[in-house]
């Protein structure tokens, strides 16, 4: 049973480009969460999605960031016009329902140059 799969593992973008981060949850999990970890900072909640629905995006910056979890395919976290401050590790987690343990993927380390 594969765990949470994220790709790419490492992503380098120039300022102003777009970054697309993908997350496939564990089999049987329909709840997906995105967290961001800045250097020397704790993990911060960004967004919670179920299939085709954004449940809570209160932790996501209002501009340039968006997330989706389509009926078919992985969840996507999209960052438009990236800036240096977006450089961080982005982790996706999934759970079978909203009140149970969440398991994390390997993360995508975004570097903006």
In whole angstroms, the minimum distance from the beta carbon of 111 to another protein comes to 13
Choice between 14 and 39, CB closer to another protein: 39
In whole angstroms, the minimum distance from the beta carbon of 70 to another protein comes to 20
Quick one: tokens of 94?
Answer: 């999934």
Choice between 15 and 51, CB closer to another protein: 51
The footprint of another protein (CB under 8 A) covers 31, 33, 35, 40-45, 48, 55-56, 59, 91, 95, 98-99, 101-107
In whole angstroms, the minimum distance from the beta carbon of 6 to another protein comes to 8
With residue 67 as reference, give the H or E element that holds it.
Answer: strand 65-68
**Vertex 88, ends 81 and 47: CA angle to 5°?**
75
DSSP for residue 86: G
What's the alpha-carbon Rg for the chain, to the nearest Å? 13
């Amino acid at each position: 049973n594969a765990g949470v799969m994220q790709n790419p593992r490492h992503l380098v973008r120039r300022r102003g480009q777009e970054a697309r981060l993908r997350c496939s949850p564990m089999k049987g999990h329909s709840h997906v969460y995105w967290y961001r970890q800045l250097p020397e900072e704790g993990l911060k909640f960004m967004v919670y999605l179920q299939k085709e629905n954004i449940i809570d995006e209160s932790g996501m910056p209002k501009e340039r960031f968006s997330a989706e979890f389509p009926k078919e395919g992985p969840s996507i976290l999209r960052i438009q016009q990236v800036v240096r401050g977006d450089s961080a590790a982005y982790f996706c987690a999934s759970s079978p329902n909203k009140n149970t343990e969440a398991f994390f993927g390997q993360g995508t380390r975004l570097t903006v140059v």
